[in-house]
Amino acid sequence: MADPAFAVVGIGASAGGVEALTALFRRMPPEPHAAFIVVTHLAPDRDSLMPEIIGRVTTMPTVTARDGECIQPGHVYLNSPVSVLTVVDGRLVLKPRHNERNPVDILLASLAREFGERAIAVILSGTGSDGALGLKAVREAGGVTFAQGRGGDGPSYPGMPQAAIGTGYVDRVVSIEELADGFAGFIGHMGLSSRHDIAEQRAVVEDAKTAIYAALQQRTGHDFSRYKDKTFLRRVERRMKVHQVTDLPGYVQLIRTDENEALALFRDLLIGVTGFFRDGEAFGRLAELVIPKILEGKGSTDAVRVWVSGCATGEEVYSLAILLREMAGNSMSAPRLQIFATDIDEEALTIARLGRYPANLLTSVSPERLARFFVRDGESYTVTPEIRECCLFSPQNILRDPPFSQIDLVSCRNLLIYFNAELQSQVIPVFHYALRRGGYLFLGNAENLTQHGSLFAPLDKKFRIYQRKDSPSRLPAMALASTPGSPRPSRPPVPARASKGDDVVRQLERRVLERYAPAHILVNRDGEVIHYSARTGKYLEAPAGAPTRNLLAMARGGLNLPLRSALREVQESGRPARRDAVAVQIDGDIQTVDIAVEPLPEIDGQPFWLIIFTDIGSARSSEEIAKAELARAADRDGALLHLEQDLNQTRERLQTTVEEYETATEELKSSNEELLSLNEELQSSNEELESSKEELQSINEEMSTVNAELASKVDELDRASADLRNLLDITRIATIFLDGDLVIRNFTPAMNAIYKLISTDRGRSLADIVSHIDYDGLVEDVHKVLGTSEPLERRVVRRDGSAHYLMRIVPYETMYDKVNGAIITFLNVSDMVKAEERQRLLVAELNHRVKNILSVVASMAAQMARRSTSVAEFAEGFVGRIHGLAKTHDILSAKEWSDVDLAELLQAELDAFILDAARASLNGPKVELRPQVATTLGIVIHELATNAVKYGAFANRIGRLRVEWAFDTGKNGRDLVLTWTESGGPPVEPPERTGLGSELIRRSLDFELGGRAAIDYRPEGVVVTLVIPATAEIIQHTEGVSP
């Protein structure tokens, strides 16, 4: 670790920095008790000559920084073109440069963290705003800050110094001469703390504290007597070092005589660690008490409006934006965020708009927020576009410029402490006016609203969170120029009554004014219109809201800024002012107007101004004006080019004259030395210019490459999007994509069978849309899948029962395996369900039929057992009947147990008994028999055929069989009558007793079919008549005649 007694000075510079650095080190004492670390903007592909240039003007060792080198007092360290320079544990640390645009911020932030009160930040000439944030960090750590001012050798490029000054954290703005001449004495005070002396002189300390408390109370109105002693004395010591005061009595004398010093100490005492989520407990209470209320009930068509007044470099703005985005979510139904951030310092606003901060300034941001809302770029972090796009930064003077309106939350932290009671009384009503009903105000810990209890009610006194009361609100008058202490205008003067002799003249003048004079108005100091002439409606229109006479509030588009600046110029100078060729938007066209503002004599001490509007030509469209502007721009460019050429020639002649004068008046040796020094400086300047040019060229090339890559990625994304869209359009599987909040991202056309979705339903919550499926647990199932990341399947049915679906829910995973929603598919399985149902019915039918067949078999067996005289007789008859039943079963199997044609059944049974088909004839209409009927009738036909073979027509070779069937309608309904007629067989004799076959036929017809059978034993042959009821359960239909 380096010697802790010496100071470490961080110096940042850019364009014009070579001159400033050589001037500074040329005047620097030879052995200062400090180390100097210089960071400039260098091109990464060129060796820098800065060590040689600075080494020629100082005796201190001047080297390019090396990684791991210990910092030593009396040394000058310069950054390398290819590295980013920081400090860790008293040693220099070089990190690879990755297009870093703020190396000065990075160095100064590391000095603040490493050295604290021994750190000194110096910002010299340069463009841009690099160094402002780092200087701010040094000041907050207790270090001292300087910026190069315009006096003496002022900065050639004031961008960097002005940006640093704009933060409000610069202790002293000095010229190079003042900085160099005072450095020796100032550095002598760094590290030589007077705290030991203070501890030994308690009485002196107490007296000094009392005097300083009194001065602060008198100058600022704040009592610091209860402030922590150590912190108070540390801030006092810092101010003593800034002014190089050696003892407390000397500082007491300074604060009593210098009014600005009391304010400077007051600011030092209030400085905390400015950064993201400063005072985390206050932001926690804000998230708990306020943000849920302002988000409540707001959807995607609504906006949350926040105003951050005095936003400085934007840390608090982005903190609020992050907090709001976290609590509002990223779903399509989240409200829009609009954060208006204002400040009077445009340099600070430039830093805020960039949203780029060194890593050392983001220590209070959690890793989760850092990963989600920031993008790392080398040693810096940039706020993501998601957050930056909802923040609008604009310059505004809260004491003069109109406020915003309909605001949900106003944040104004540590700004009111700089205002006296009178200004606070002017600003607080502005916040009340800007807030919508029930809006909230967020102040700093050192601020309160005790004098404005009628406007705001405290929600949390500790963290200064207030809510707007619904008391009448009126916007305070906004002055056109900063005129503190000026009296408010009285009522406009009433003109004296004119004599009767002047009436005609006055009427004449009024008529001329009304018809021929240009439009004009009369305003007072507060910008309120006292009188309108005719035809002013072309330039003024009443704004929305409460009625107002404020001129700037009524001015049409394009008139506000010219009127404001002209009125301010007239008020400050007392002379007329003009604004020519002002473009005014009127009903979509643009009218060019000349504006003249003239002061009028004061009446009762109150000033008034006359404003005259004169049209230039007629109103023109935007296209016509654009063409005219291009023509004028070409003329102006030519004139400017001519002026620049003249100026360059004049400069060249002046330079020549100066050089000739120096050559004529100085000795040759001095002249040569001066010329040599001048050449070296010019060489350094040329090097810097070339480096800048090359850096810009390199950036342009990188941007071109990035743009080409981006265009390629966009094309790929377009193709992938088109492929996905076509895939979704042609697929027949109903699919819907949801985010983590069940908001619809996309869906396929087949989803219309489940939900009646249209294209505008994207962005809506699925829970808000009624489905056609008879299932209410979809939302719970999706949440379960999102929580467990496990797929889920369910069978669902349409409410009308017309379709069955297999619903499958799977998690939607990003390319980083992060679950970011769910995908739901509905596969139509209606055909499968029908097939399963049919299969169940077939199985049930088969079971029923098998049971019936077994019953028939059991019945036949029982009857044959009773009638048979031997086992052989039983076996012969039983087997034959089983074969007949099997034939019927074969037919039913071939028909898949559907209806069977009667003729087909007869033919199948007879084919087993006769070889000559001509011996049997079949005649009758086409009849379809139910499977159960076919089984029973098949057994009956088998019995008849068996008897015919044994005893009847088929017992010889000449017998014939004729089977006829027809429908007959009797008193009992319609019957199917089948006649079995045998002939040509052996003579027939009636049996002595009823045989088993006859009994089986009658029982089958009677019990199974509800019919009857009649057997006539004629000598020429048996005639059997079967009568079967022609019901739907027995016969399917009849059609035509069977062959």
Instruction: Say which of 48, 105, 110, 130 is annotated catalytic.
Output: 130
Query: For residues 195 and 241, what is the distance between their CA atoms, to the nearest angstrom?
Result: 13
Contact predicate 830/803, CB 8 Å: yes
**How many Cα atoms occupy the beta-carbon half-sphere of 395 within 13 Å?**
8
Return d(Cα 937, Cα 935) in angstroms, integer. 6
Total residue length of the chain? 1043
Q: CB neighbours of 137 closer than 8 A, spacing ≥ 6?
A: 108, 109, 112, 113, 358, 360, 361
Could you give the angle at the alpha carbon of 254 between the alpha carbons of 248 and 257, nearest 5°? 145
Helical segments of 329-420, H only? 346-354, 367-373, 385-388
**What does the buried/exposed string (b/e) look like for 83-92 if buried means 16 or more CB atoms within 10 Å of the residue's CB?**
bbbbbeebbb
Q: Token pair of 907, please? A: 């033919």
Among residues 233, 226, 231, the alpha carbon closest in space to that of 196 is found at 233
Among 411, 387, 400, 440, smallest CA distance to 309 is for 411
Confirm whether 41 is a catalytic residue: yes
The C-alpha R_g of the chain, in whole angstroms, comes to 52
Paired residues of 464 in beta bridges: none
Known catalytic residue: 14? yes
Q: What are the Cα distances from residue 61, in Å, to 87, 457, 872? A: 19, 63, 134
Q: Which of 14, 194, 411, 691 is catalytic?
A: 14
Nearest Cα residue to 409 out of 275, 480, 307:
307
251 neighbors 211 (Cβ within 8 angstroms): no
Give the C-alpha distances (Å, rounded to integers) separating 871 from 861, 950, 999. Answer: 12, 19, 20
In the chain, the N- to C-terminal Cα span, in Å, equals 119
How is the chain split among helix, strand and coil, in percent rounded to 5? 45, 25, 30
Would you say 130 and 41 are in contact if contact means Cβ atoms under 8 Å apart?
yes
Q: At what angle do helices 668-730 and 17-27 cross, to 10 degrees?
A: 130
Whether 743 and 331 have beta carbons less than 8 Å apart is answered as yes
- Which residues touch 72 (CB under 8 Å, ≥6 apart)? 2, 35
**Strands (DSSP E) found in 422-546:** 435-443, 456-460, 465-468, 519-524, 529-532
Q: In angstroms, rounded to a whole number, what is the distance separating the alpha carbons of residues 827 and 727?
A: 16
Residue 341 to residue 355: CA distance in whole angstroms: 13
For residue 335, CA distances in Å to 301, 322, 404, 667, 739 come to 6, 14, 19, 77, 17
Query: Is 460 marked active-site?
Result: no
Residue 13 β-bridge partners: 40
Q: How far apart are CA 879 and CA 939, in angstroms?
A: 12
| Residue 856 three-state SS | helix
Residue type, 534: A
Which residue out of 41, 189, 452, 889 is catalytically annotated? 41
In whole angstroms, what is the distance from residue 631 CA to residue 943 CA?
Answer: 118
Q: What are phi and psi of 919, to 5 degrees?
A: -75, -10
751 within 8 A of 736, measured Cβ to Cβ: yes
Catalytic residues: 14, 41, 130
